[in-house]
Each structure stands twice: as structure tokens, then as C-alpha cells.
Structure 1
Amino acid sequence: MRSLLWSAAALVWSTGMAGTAVQSAASEPRRPHIIFVLADDLGRGDLGCYGGALAPTPNIDRLAADGIRLAQYYAASPICSPSRCGLITGQFPAQWRITSYLQTRAGNRACQQADFLDPAAPSLPRALQQAGYKTAHFGKWHLGGGRDVDDPPPFAAYGYDEAAGTWESPEPHPDLTTADWVWSNEDKVKRWERTGFFVDRALDFIKRNRSSPCFVNVWLDDPHTPWVPGEDAAATPGKETRPRLRRVLVEIDRQIGRLRSGLQELGLDDSTLIIFTSDNGPLPTFDARRTAGLRGSKLS
């Protein structure tokens, strides 16, 4: 299995990748499946392969050992929406009037920014779709939709054949959005089950479309706060402690292991490229332990 590990201080941090996959894929006789895992607010120091000791991450460490670990990349922005805009478009997010996290219409006006990513922008999934890929997005989007922004373009406008989004998306999945908010204890898929839900959807999509090359976003909610690693923590969200973070990181790592095992069961482990990264670095940093000593972090 081929893999690229773009971790919070490694890939977090790239703005110019959108055109490269299409060029390399077009020259290959059999184009690889591509799974793009984006962990929300992950820190470089959260991973063992970058020297972190907050939690054991053997599956992610193995992914790094089996592939390429990148360490000289920068995020398009130290906050969610513009960083994601850079990853999707391969361009500076300010060019598309996304300069902070997308929020209410009034909040977006105060930031002098758009309410959603313009579908006229370059799009990595659209470019791959036009090159013959089946495309899907499962997980957090945060490039339009949610709050009072009720007219964002659908996922299809950006080049996705299938999608299941969270609350801040044009098409939130009903099992994730019982309440009109980012998450709720009443959601059918609980906060601590979401990463597994996204992995399951990704594997199912690839299984159904395995005769074509597939590009799949698996964009996680974790380890963004609140850390709700299990039912015992659901009653007291907002207590952001190291033990809770440890449990969240262990679950992310377990699900990456499930993803790789699922690909092996499908016989696709040698024909799949996994890209693993974060959007903008960690918060809180726990005295820079989560940044592995680097001074930058989310909101820096």
C-alpha cells in the first residue's frame, strides 16, 4: 500500500497539491484509488511517528513507515475553512474570499468573506472526476452550509458523486444531525462513533465502485474539541483533559487500522494511495506538546 503521511506539522500545510494527482494518475496504466484522510485539529505531537507520546498510534505510525512521511509543508491557513479551501483548490483561500472559519451570514460579512466556496473555483475532486474517477466525501466539510447559510451549492457542484456530510455542509447526513448543531447526544451516530461511520462509508463506496479508480475524502471531526471519547464523557462535554484526548487519538488510530484492514480484505491494499493529514494544527496545545515544540498552532 502506498501512503503519504502529511501530519499536523508536515502536511497540515499544503496549498499547491490539487493538480498533481491528476497528472500522475493519467500516466499510469491502472490508476490508484486515493483516500484523503483529514483529521480535524490534529497536532504533529499527537502522533508517535513524529515523536509524540500523548497516545499510542501504532496504525498511523505503520502507515508512515510503509510510505512517505512529509515534514516541510505549510497550511494555507491556521484555521479550518481557509485551510480546507487551499486543499480543495490548490490556491490561496483569500482568492476565493475565505479568510476565517465560515459561520453565520452576519459573521461572514464581518470578516468580509463569502458564505461558501464558489463552485467556480478549481476543485481537486472535480479534476479527478473528469479524469474518470468515482468521487465521494464523507465527514466534515465546513466550506459552506450550516447555521443560517441555507443555500450552499450541493456536493455535486464541486465534483463529488456521493457524499455524507456533518452539520456544516450542504447535505448533512440525518444520522449525524438530529439537532441543529455540530453534534448532539441525540444523534443516531454518536460523537465517538463518527470516525468509524466515515471509514465504513468509504470502504462501502470503494467496494461498490472498485471497477473504477476512486477518490474518497474521509474528513474526521476528531480530534477537534469537544473530546467525547465515549458515553461516559457525553454528559460532561467541554472538559478538555489529556486523558480524554488520549482516548480520542487511540480511536482515530484504531479506525485507520480498520481502514487498512478493509482495503486488504477487498484486495485493494496495493492499489490504494492513502493521504493522512490535518487541517490547521492543534488547540489546546498542552504547552506545545501537541505541536512537538513548534511555535505554530491553530489560530496562530
Structure 2
Amino acid sequence: MKITTFLAAICLCLTASAAFAQQKPNIILVLTDDMGVGDIACYGGSLVPTPHLDRMAAEGIRFTQYYSASPICSPSRAGLLTGSYPARWNITSYLQTRKGNAACEQADFLRADVPTVAKLLKSAGYHTGHFGKWHLGGGRDVKNAPSIQAYGFDEYSSTWESPDPDPLITAENWIWSKTDSVKRWDRTGYFVDRTLAFLAKHKGQPCFINLWPDDVHTPWVADEKDMQRYPEGAQGRRQFEAVMKNYDRQMGRLMEGLKKLGIDQHTIVVFTSDNGALPTFDTRSGQYRGSKLSLYEGGIRMPLIVRYPGATKGGRVDSVSILSATDMLPTFCKLAGVKQVPQPAVDGVDRADVLLGKPSPRERTLFWEYGRNDSTFGYPRGKNRSPSVAVRQGKWKLLVNANGAGAELYDLEKDPGEQHDLSRQHPAETAQLTGKALAWFRALPALRK
């Protein structure tokens, strides 16, 4: 009898293991707003202790060569959602008023017929949710932007800069207000709550969620007292530290919530930022030159932590693999069992093995563009103002203006801070990469209104 019971127990364990292996993982993409690589302690940050993010890294894999698709909000989000360079969809800067969009030589919203990760995962049986900032069209005087649902999301809650603003956080016609039911300092917690509720509702079924808070973007409003003192928000270091501490706590709540739901082992959490920090306080970009709005590393090289306790061993650092935001769509599709990813619309490559703990060098060249003209792309000023086109190939990174002038070449293995321009010392590499960068830029579609 004991042997029979023992064998039955083994069969039950094997059945459970097989079911776990076959079950599609939940995927949560946490996209922080304006977080520099130097904001997190485990990346060398010193401004604010971040024990919960550090624990996420200790339980997962921390990547040191991950790039956003752009150094500014809307195009970086478009790159994540579509797996394509955002300029393919005429998204070049942050989406705003119609007049401002025209000045930036961009569309008023992301087209709804583009392939998106949410649409593709829905085709594989996923329930999809978007909770947080959207900023891919809608708000201000853009009244005809498609609903978030049109991009493949079953449920959503978003901020003022969207076609579907949540009334609890958009009581007035602005990013936040004193009269919001959910106060500015509670907003990240609200989005975490919505995420956990969505997962609980669909427990036992695969879910894909965009958790896109608008922290730690300015204005920083730490609490009720701060709101009274700074009714329009602040950009001071003290306020940033308070907001960052709360943000870190909310990431801890997310991880604890996954454990309480019993889905922790089978949920992939991908944590990153849309673009670099601004203001930087001279520390928020870490060792890198530049900031938000710059194609130097401080504007586009972002933190990336991937936590998947049921499949990967934690506590590792991957400094070998070069990853892009455009890789996330094909990577998530592979992890979710999507059979076919649309080509050639997707520029990213499947890096599922890398996210599962198998580092590998990158074969495909990476490109960026930011700064179509001097009138609407005039920032940042000074040494962090970069040329408008950039390319990364192996250890080399080249920046050049769209007219072919001002080429700068850096060896990122030896000089990640981009302090030593090697364009004169390496004319062959400079010419080759300049040609690649300009050919890519000139092949981008022209804006059609």
C-alpha cells in the first residue's frame, strides 16, 4: 500500500511538472518612465536605496547592454509595442498637439493596423492588459486616436495622454490634478493593483500585461504635503528621492502579489525604462554620457532586469548580450508559443534564450534617430547634445548627423562613457558605419499626413 501511494505521488508530481512545462508563462512588461541606469542601487546608483529592485535582480538576471528604441517617450514605446524602429510608423518624438506633431515631422498617433505584441499574444490564447501611461496617441487636441483596445488589449487603465483616460486619475484636463480620486503619489500603486487584479481574474490562463507607470517622470509629487507646497509638481532632488523610494516599494508589492496569487514561479517580469533620466543630478545616467533626448548612452542604454524564478537561476549579470527594445516582440512571441511573427515589419530578433539565461553576442546591427530639425529638437544643450543618427555594431558605436557631417566613433568596450572620439584614428570603420547609418536613415518612410 505504501509503495502504491509512493508511486501515485511520483505520478502526481510528474504530471504537475509536465503541466507546468506546457503552461504558457504570464509576461509582465514593467516600463518605468524616465529612469536612468544610475537610479537603481544594483546598477551602481547612490541617490536612493532600492532594496526591492535589487532583490528583483538578485532573483533574476541583470543585463548591462540593453537599449531603448529612442531617447524619448512615445517612439520608445512604439518600438516596444511593435518590435520595429518607431520612425517606420512616423513616430519621432513625444506625441502632443497636432501643431506640435507636425513640427516634429511625425504622425498624430500610432496606426492601429500595425502588428503589436498584444495582438500576437492574443492569437496564442493570452489575455492582455495595459495599465499605465500610453502616450501613443490621444489627449490634447488629438481626438481621433484609436482606442487602446484597437492595439490588442482586452482591459486597460491609462493616463491623460491617451485616447482612454481613466477618470479616477484624470479629473481635469492635464497630466494630474489635486482633484484626482487616486492621488499622484498613489498612482503607481493603483496600476500595480490593477495588474494583480487582472492576473487574479484570469488565474490559470496566460496573461500579457503592460505595466507602464508614469513614475519616475517629473513633476514629482511625493505626498499631500508636497502637493500643497508645489501645486504644479516639483523637479527637486528631495522630491525625486521620495518618489523613487515609493516606486521601489511598489515593485516589491508587485513581486509579493505574484507570490500570494501562487503564480510567481510561472510569471516573467521584465523591468526596464523607456529612455534616460532628466534632470540627471549628474548621477542618474551612471557612468554614461547623455540623458533623455540624447543618443549618447545615457539617453538609450537602460536598466533591464528579467525575473523568471520557475525557469532561470537568479543572481546573474549578463554583460555579453546586446539587446534592444525592438527584440521584445519576437522574444515574447517565442516564449508565448506564437507560431508566426510578421516580417519584414519587425526589426527586432528573438532573444528568448538570452532572457532564459544563455548569453550570446548580437549579430544584427542596431540603429536610432532623434533630431529631425533644430527648431523642435533643440535639447539637451551642451556636451550631451548628440548627432541625430546612431548605429551600434559589435563594440563600435557611431553617431552622425543626417547630412553626413559630424561623425563620432566610440569603442564601447573600452570607453562606455563615450569620452574619446576615435573617428580620425579609425577612418575605415567610420566610413563603413557612416554609410550604414545614413542608408538606414534615408530608407525610412517620409511623413504623410
The answer to whether the superposition gives a TM-score over 0.5 is yes
Query: How far apart in 1 are the matches of 2:275 and 2:223?
Result: 25
- The answer on 1:204 being equivalent to 2:177 is no
Structure 1 residue 211: deviation in Å?
2.4
Confirm or deny: 8 A CA contact 2:227 2:233 kept in the other structure.
Answer: no
Matched letter for residue 249 of structure 1: M
Query: How far apart in 2 are the matches of 1:252 and 1:282?
Result: 15
Matched residue, 2:334:
none
Matched letter for residue 250 of structure 1: K
> 1:183-194 residue pairs with structure 2 within 5 A?
183-194=176-187
- The answer on 1:114 being equivalent to 2:104 is no
Structure 1 residue 293: deviation in Å?
2.2
Matched residue, 2:263:
268
1:207-238 Cα shifts (integer Å, max 9, x gaps): 00112100111101111001101111113144
Tell me the secondary structure at the aligned position of residue 257 of structure 1: helix
Structure 1: give runs of 5+ residues left out of the alignment: 1-27
Matched residue, 1:7:
none
Tell me the secondary structure at the aligned position of residue 162 of structure 2: coil
Query: How far apart in 2 are the matches of 1:73 and 1:211?
Result: 31
Query: How far apart in 1 are the matches of 2:245 and 2:155?
Result: 29
1:243-282 Cα shifts (integer Å, max 9, x gaps): 2111111111100111111111110110110011000110
Bigger Rg over Cα = 2
Tell me the secondary structure at the aligned position of residue 277 of structure 1: strand
- The answer on 1:239 being equivalent to 2:209 is no
Confirm or deny: 8 A CA contact 2:172 2:179 kept in the other structure.
Answer: yes
Matched residue, 2:24:
31
Structure 1 residue 286: deviation in Å?
0.7
- The answer on 1:292 being equivalent to 2:278 is no
Query: How far apart in 2 are the matches of 1:176 and 1:218?
Result: 16
Matched residue, 1:280:
275
- The answer on 1:144 being equivalent to 2:137 is yes
Q: How many residues align?
A: 272
Matched residue, 1:25:
none
Matched letter for residue 260 of structure 1: M
Confirm or deny: 8 A CA contact 2:218 2:234 kept in the other structure.
Answer: no
Matched residue, 2:38:
45
Tell me the secondary structure at the aligned position of residue 179 of structure 1: coil
- Report the TM-score when normalising by structure 1: 0.89
Query: How far apart in 2 are the matches of 1:54 and 1:122?
Result: 39
Structure of greater relative contact order (alpha carbons < 8 Å, 6+ residues apart): 1
Matched letter for residue 252 of structure 1: Y
Matched letter for residue 171 of structure 2: T
Matched residue, 1:86:
79
List structure 1 runs of 4+ shifted beyond 2 angstroms.
none
Structure 1 residue 239: deviation in Å?
3.1
> 1:89-100 residue pairs with structure 2 within 5 A?
89-100=82-93
Query: How far apart in 2 are the matches of 1:226 and 1:119?
Result: 30
Matched residue, 1:226:
219
Query: How far apart in 2 are the matches of 1:67 and 1:293?
Result: 23
Query: How far apart in 2 are the matches of 1:164 and 1:223?
Result: 18
Matched residue, 1:255:
250
- Report the TM-score when normalising by structure 2: 0.60
Structure 1 residue 172: deviation in Å?
0.5
1:15-44 Cα shifts (integer Å, max 9, x gaps): xxxxxxxxxxxxx61111111111100111
Structure 1 residue 180: deviation in Å?
0.6
Matched letter for residue 30 of structure 2: V
Matched letter for residue 287 of structure 2: G
Query: How far apart in 2 are the matches of 1:89 and 1:239?
Result: 33
1:79-105 Cα shifts (integer Å, max 9, x gaps): 100010101111110000000100001
Structure 1 residue 296: deviation in Å?
2.5
1:115-167 Cα shifts (integer Å, max 9, x gaps): 11111112011111111100000010000110001111111111000001100
- The answer on 1:153 being equivalent to 2:146 is yes
Matched letter for residue 285 of structure 2: T
Query: How far apart in 1 are the matches of 2:122 and 2:292?
Result: 32
